[in-house]
Amino acid sequence: MSTFGWPEFLFLLRSAGWSIVLTVIALAFGAVGGGAFAIMRLANNAVLRTIAAIYILVIQSIPVLMILFMAYYGLSIAGVEIPPLLAASVSLSIYVSAYLAEIWRGSIQAVPPQQWEASASLALTRPQQYRYIILPQALRISLPPTVGFLVQLVKNTSIVSVVGFVELSRAGQLVNNATFRPFEVFMVVAAIYFAICFPLSRLSRYLERVLHVGRSH
C-alpha cells in the first residue's frame, strides 16, 4: 500500500489536464452541433423546427452515462475497438449540443423582434440577418449562460471515467485503490474540480452583471 504524497498529487493534476482537454473537445464539437440545432429550432420550416425540438427533448431526457454507453457500444458494432477518448468525446459532444442549442435558442429569441423587422426591411436575406444583425447581439446575451453551462460540462467529464479513460475522477479512483485514503484523495480531487469550476461560476455571474448593464439602454 502506497501513501498519498507528491507523486500521487502530481498524477491527479496531470489527469485534471485530461478533464480540461475533454471539456475543450466536447465544447468545440458541441458548439457546432448546438449552433446548428439552435437555428433549426427557430427555422421557418416546421419540419426542421420539430426535428430540432425532438432532438433536444430526447437528449435532455437521457443520462449522459447512457449517451456514453450507447456511443461506446454503438460504435463498437462496426467491429472495431473504440478508443475511450473517442467514445467520450462523441458522447459529451452530443450532450453539449442539446443543452447549448437550447441556451442559444433562448439567446437568439431574446434579441428584440424589431431587429429582425428592421433588417428585413433593408432587404437582408436570412443568413445575412443572422450574420450581421442577430448573432452579434445574441452572442452577448448568450455569454453568461454558456460559461455557466461550461461548469456543468467540466463536472460531467467525470462520468467518462467509467469507460476507463483516465481523467481526474478515474485518477482519483486509481490513487484511492492504491492508498486507500478516500477522504484525502477525493477531497483533493474535489478541490481541483472546485478550482476549475468556481472561477467559471463567478465569471458567469460577473458577465451577467456587466452585460446586463450594457443591454438595459
Nearer to other proteins, 96 or 134 (CB): 96
Question: What's the min distance (Å) between Cβ of 53 and other proteins?
Answer: 4
Q: Which three cell numbers stand for residue 131?
A: 450574420
Residue nearer to other proteins on the CB measure, 61 or 121: 61
Give the closest residue to 163 by CA, choosing from 68, 47, 44: 68
Report d(CA 95, CA 89) in Å as an integer: 10
Binding site for other proteins (CB under 8 A): 53-54, 56-58, 60-66, 69-70, 73-74, 76-77, 79, 95, 98-99, 102-103, 106, 145, 148-149, 151-156, 158-159, 161-162, 169, 172-173, 176, 182-183, 186-187, 189-190, 193-194, 197-198, 201
Give Dmax (Cα) for the chain: 74
Instruction: Copy the grid coordinates of residue 145.
Output: 449562460
CB of 182 to other proteins, least distance (A): 4
Shortest approach of other proteins to residue 62 CB, angstroms?
5
* CB distance 70 to 91 below 8 Å: yes
